[in-house]
Structures are given as C-alpha cells and as structure tokens.
Structure 1
Amino acid sequence: VRCNKCGEEITVRARKDSEISRVSEGESPAGAEYFLRKEILGAKCNNLIYIEVSFGPGFNIISKEISGGKFVE
C-alpha cells in the first residue's frame, strides 16, 4: 500500500491462521468466505491506513477497500 500523507510504500503481509477470519453470513459480499481487516502504520509518518479485503474460495480477492492510502499492484 502507499500512504496518502507521505507517499511511503509499505509491504503488507497477512497470516492465514491469525489475521484472516471466516465470514459470518450476511457480513460480506456474495461469494466471500474469508475477510481481513488490518491497520497499517509506516515508518515515515503517523498516518494509519485501514484495509478490508474479502476473499473467496482459494483466497482469491473478491473485494478490497482502503482508507488513508492506495493499493499498489
């Protein structure tokens, strides 16, 4: 992700066993089986970046949202 405030690029990692959770019915987009909510803080500034990602079977990304930054592909 890239911080909107300072432009720092931050590599984000997610652990399947502790950070990615199963979806409860009605909480996420259709077809989603797992989700990730994460707060990210870089080294250059104190701007928190919030991401929310929904995954389908096989952990393919169904939807993603970000606040305070941009996704870098």
Structure 2
Amino acid sequence: MSIAGVDTVPSVAHNLPAPVLLTVEEAAVCLRIGRTTCFSLIRTGQLESLMVGGLRRVPADAPAAYLARRRAEQGAA
C-alpha cells in the first residue's frame, strides 16, 4: 500500500497482499503524526476507525480520505 509512491506500511515479504486494516500506530505513520494525535482524530470522528474484537483498526484508505478532506477544506478557505 502506498500514498503518493511512499510505502506507508513496511512488509517483511513483498509478496503479501496490501493490508485492508491498519493499527492506529500504522495509520499515524502514514499521516506522519504521533499516536496520541491519531487517537484524537479518531475520537473526534475525523479519522475513520472501527473495532475488531477488542482492537481499534483504521481502514487502509482512511488516512488518504482524511488528507483529501483536509486539502479540500483548506482549498475552500
């Protein structure tokens, strides 16, 4: 999985399929923000997430969607 040609989640073996869900830490790495900031975005509903069992996960396309919304907001301002 990549955003703008940058690997966002390193994988040990390159023959693995791209992840569908990211940990909060992986999503934070994608966005180049801290874990606490990422949880804050999730808590306020700005970054989509869901619970899988007892684990918080972020859909792999959610960081890009968040970034697109932010860019649109700043472009409109």
TM-score by length of 1: 0.28
Greater percentage in strand:
1
Greater percentage in helix:
2
